[in-house]
Structure 1
Amino acid sequence: MARFRLPLLTALGLFVAVLALAAAFTDRHYMLLSVVLLLAALLPLFIRLERRPLQSRELVLLAVLSAIAAVSRIPFAALPSVKPVSAVVILSAYVFGAEAGFVIGAVAALVSNIYFGQGPWTPWQMFAWGMIGLTAGWLRTSWLLSKRAGLLVFGFLWGFLFGWIMNIWVIISLPDAFNWRLVAATFAASFYFDLAHALSNVFFLAVLAGGWTKVLQRFRKKYGLLQE
């Protein structure tokens, strides 16, 4: 998906810029920030519309996968940080590419928080899950994701990276002056939750990777969905 690398990088740049500006806004602006990030996530699709007709069934596919990723959080709501969302985003990006993974991850975060509650954390979750999809799509032909063990390692690492991204929001939102003890305390407090997320990613990827990936690949090949 090299021809869409620039739009993806542009969308990623907008994500980072909006998150940087978020520190200057009060919490009541989080929905506006979420909408801006949603538009940024959809930017690659808008570019694709200009370069080639985007089939309606491709939009339906992205919407369905985003909904599956979002709804998958609900059955595990009682288990902190245990959720199949990351696994669904990774496998979707593995089959359909970085563009789709980026959109699915960002939209899943926004939609799932309709149930879990919107807040100033929503834009950061959109960014984190979008990055999971983006990197999985970029690395899908690499030696790392070409092997099952590498896929599990990738999911494990992103369990921690996701938590570290959310830690940045926590540190920024705290009223205390920035200091390294605060940073250390924040990361130490999140370790259990990050580990739970990492291990759950390994579990759900191990369970879903075979059958789920084959089904998606069959749909992609049969209907020519999201071809490069």
Structure 2
Amino acid sequence: MNTYKLTLVALLASLAVVGRFAFAFLPNIQPVTSLIIIAGLFLGPLAAAIMAILTTFLSNILLGMGIWTVWQVVAWVFIGVISGFIGKSKRKTPTLVIVLYAAFSGYFYGLIISLVTYQVAGKFWPYYLAGLPFDTYHAVGNAMVMLVFYPIVSKFFIKYAQDRFTIQGNQNTKRGTEGQV
């Protein structure tokens, strides 16, 4: 992973941390999951995993650490890696599919976090069912954030990819002509 890609991951992670802290007063509505999905789609599974780990630990320094931190990392890394594989597919994924995946990820995240209670208290279903409204808030929030951010951010990442290929092409051309002179 090059320095530029690490910088993009750090910027997205800082945006996710600030967004999570800014929306902390709303139950389960946060831009973190959507930004991790965007990182996976455009930067790959490794970048999404790194962003998920960074975001979780940095935001939990502000909001509070606990046993759930490990499960948050597990859930967000899994979501990011899956989105990274979706982004690596040859076909262009429609925005509606990405929005639906973001909504599904809210429920999946809630399922993984509910495993914390099973680990500690041994009762999974009561906790999971009681948390479904909050998982729904998370799913709807993910879909809304994705509807707003994805079209904007995708233009920047497409421009980044085009500029990068142009720059690499120019460097390869210069290298090729230097040896011929």
Q: Same fold (TM over 0.5)?
A: yes
Please tell me whether residue 198 in structure 1 is matched to residue 145 in structure 2. no
CA apart distance, 1:100? 0.9
CA apart distance, 1:58? 2.5
Please tell me whether residue 99 in structure 1 is matched to residue 40 in structure 2. no
CA distance in 1, matches of 2:101, 2:74: 18
Q: Which residue of 2 aligns with 1:149?
A: 96
Which residue of 61, 64, 85 maps to 1:114? 61
Partner-residue secondary structure (3-state), 1:119: coil
CA distance in 2, matches of 1:158, 1:207: 17
| Letter matched to residue 49 of structure 2 | F
Partner-residue secondary structure (3-state), 1:73: helix
The structure with the largest alpha-carbon Rg is: 2
CA apart distance, 1:201? 0.5
Q: Is the 8 A contact 1:145 1:154 kept in 2?
A: no
CA distance in 2, matches of 1:210, 1:67: 20
CA distance in 2, matches of 1:218, 1:159: 29
Instruction: Report 1:155-174 matches (<5 A).
Output: 155-174=102-121
In the superposition, relative to structure 1, how do residues 115 and 144 fare at CA in structure 2: closer, same or farther (>3 Å)?
Answer: farther
CA distance in 1, matches of 2:41, 2:2: 20
Q: What number of residue pairs does the alignment pair up?
A: 166
Q: Which residue of 2 aligns with 1:26?
A: none
- Superposed CA RMSD in Å reads 2.0
Gaps of 5+ in 2: 166-181
TM-score, structure 1 as length reference: 0.68
Could you report, residue by residue, the CA deviation over 1:35-64 in whole angstroms, capped at 9, with x for unpaired residues? xxxxxxxxxxxxxxxxxxx43233222222
Q: Is the 8 A contact 1:159 1:198 kept in 2?
A: yes
In the superposition, relative to structure 1, how do residues 109 and 191 fare at CA in structure 2: closer, same or farther (>3 Å)?
Answer: same
Q: Is the 8 A contact 2:27 2:134 kept in 1?
A: yes
CA distance in 2, matches of 1:109, 1:191: 22
CA apart distance, 1:72? 1.1
Q: Is the 8 A contact 2:5 2:43 kept in 1?
A: no
Between the aligned residues of both structures, percent identity stands at 25
Q: Is the 8 A contact 2:30 2:141 kept in 1?
A: yes
Could you report, residue by residue, the CA deviation over 1:11-30 in whole angstroms, capped at 9, with x for unpaired residues? xxxxxxxxxxxxxxxxxxxx
Please tell me whether residue 58 in structure 1 is matched to residue 18 in structure 2. no
Q: Is the 8 A contact 1:105 1:131 kept in 2?
A: no
CA apart distance, 1:102? 1.3
CA distance in 1, matches of 2:48, 2:62: 22
CA apart distance, 1:142? 4.9
CA distance in 1, matches of 2:91, 2:83: 10
